[in-house]
Amino acid sequence: MQRHVLITGVAGFIGAAVAKDLLKRNYKVVGVDNLSTGKLENIPSDVEFIKLDVSSSHLKSLLAAYSFDGILHIAGQSSADVSYSDPIYDLNANVTSTLNLLQIAIEKNIKKFIFASSATVYGEQENPLLLSEEQTVNPVSFYAVGKLASERYLSLYSKEYGINCTSLRLFNVYGPGQNLDNLNQGMASIYLAQALRQKQILVKGSGDRFRDFVYIDDVVQAFVSVLEANVKAKSIINVCTGKGTTVNEVCTFIENKVKLAKPTQFSGSTRGDIHGQTGDPTRLLEGSYVKSLTNFSDGMLKMIEWAQERQIN
């Protein structure tokens, strides 16, 4: 029997990649996106696409005719920086949308709900290395506060209505398909886009900041494994590698592959930015949600080759 899923944010980097993988596995995929940052050309052709904001009150009636085995809620305002310029937009995009979908999940008796949360919920920590899911959270941006509220709503729906809810706390996702036109979001993609187009990388913030970069294929695998898990998945799972890579290392890697005109420049900072964090992937690996994790140099090399092939420079 063909399985049906609803994917929100299907025109975005992660949503489109998850959709593509599920179509290959013979799922029927209905996708929703408001195309605010997502692109129509990202959406795989076999997706049945609905252009709508996920927080819209019309969503319910537009989905009335469908039934789903699971919802993958990947849509959202994904820039911490943008969350500062319009906190109410951020709240609607990242929290109202979640409540809207959870309500639909109850009414349609959908038993699985997977939410793209974020490592930013950990925020500033005294010991930012190997953050486990049990770590006390400390969100320090509007974006992070919203993601955490959504996680908590999931856990309430899980408890009250028996929906099997999982929040995947995504660390820094990167890889082929990432939006090189959106310079508000995605450290690796911002630097790579600058390198290819302006022949110079301009870093907002210090070079010794570090992140846990997780490759898109591994992230897709995590979504699919949780969706297909027969035993109830944990309610929160870090999607990360456990390894930190500094901004300097990312820039040096790109500089070695892309000929630049000027040296990399560092200035200013981003509001709500955190110095560094790496996540503990024990739960991700022990649950076999991801078989093995791509290391940064292999993944970044593929991303650079993809970008160069598309002659985005």
Contact pick of 5, 19, 145, 239 for its own copies (by CB under 8 A): 145
62/156 with CB nearer its own copies: 156
Among 63-71, 85-93, 234-242, 279-287, which window interacts with its own copies (CB under 8 A)? 85-93
CB of 99 to its own copies, least distance (A): 5
Contact between 99 and its own copies by CB under 8 A: the answer reads yes
User: Applying CB under 8 A, does 136 fall inside the site for its own copies?
Assistant: yes
- For its own copies, the binding residue among 140, 183, 202, 229 (CB under 8 A) is 140
51 φ/ψ angles, rounded to the nearest 5 degrees? -85, 110
- Residues 65-84 binding its own copies (CB under 8 A) are 84
Q: For its own copies, give the closer residue by CB, 125 or 313.
A: 125
Check binding of 104 to its own copies (CB under 8 A): no
Rounded least distance, CB 136 to its own copies, Å: 6
Under the binding rule (CB under 8 A), the answer on residue 117 touching its own copies is no
275 binds its own copies (CB under 8 A): no
8 binds its own copies (CB under 8 A): no
Of 8, 77, 78, 100, which lies in the binding site for its own copies, with binding defined by CB under 8 A?
Answer: 100
103 or 225: whose CB is closer to its own copies?
103
Q: What is the DSSP string of the chain?
A: ---EEEEESTTSHHHHHHHHHHHHTT-EEEEEE--SSS-GGGS-TTSEEEE--TT-TTHHHHTTT---SEEEE--S---HHHHHH-HHHHHIIIIIHHHHHHHHHHHTT--EEEEEEEGGGT-S-SS-SSB-TTSPP---SHHHHHHHHHHHHHHHHHHHH--EEEEEEE-EEESTT--TT-TTS-HHHHHHHHHHHTSS-EEES-TT-EE-EEEHHHHHHHHHHHHH-SSPPPSEEEE--S--EEHHHHHHHHHHHS--SS--EEE---TT--SB--B--HHHHHTTSSSSPPPHHHHHHHHHHHHHHTT--
Please report, as residue ranges, which positions from 164 to 223 form the binding site for its own copies (by CB under 8 A): none
Q: Give a three-class secondary structure readout of 197-210.
A: HCCCCEEECCCCCE
Structure tokens at 45: 């052709």
23 interacts with its own copies by CB under 8 A: no
Using CB under 8 A, count the residues that bind its own copies: 26
Of 118 and 179, CB closest to its own copies: 118
Q: Which of 41, 126, 134, 160 binds its own copies (CB under 8 A)?
A: 160
Please give the residue ranges that form the binding site for its own copies (CB under 8 A): 84, 87-88, 91-92, 95-96, 99-100, 102-103, 136, 139-142, 145-146, 148-149, 152-153, 156, 160, 271-272
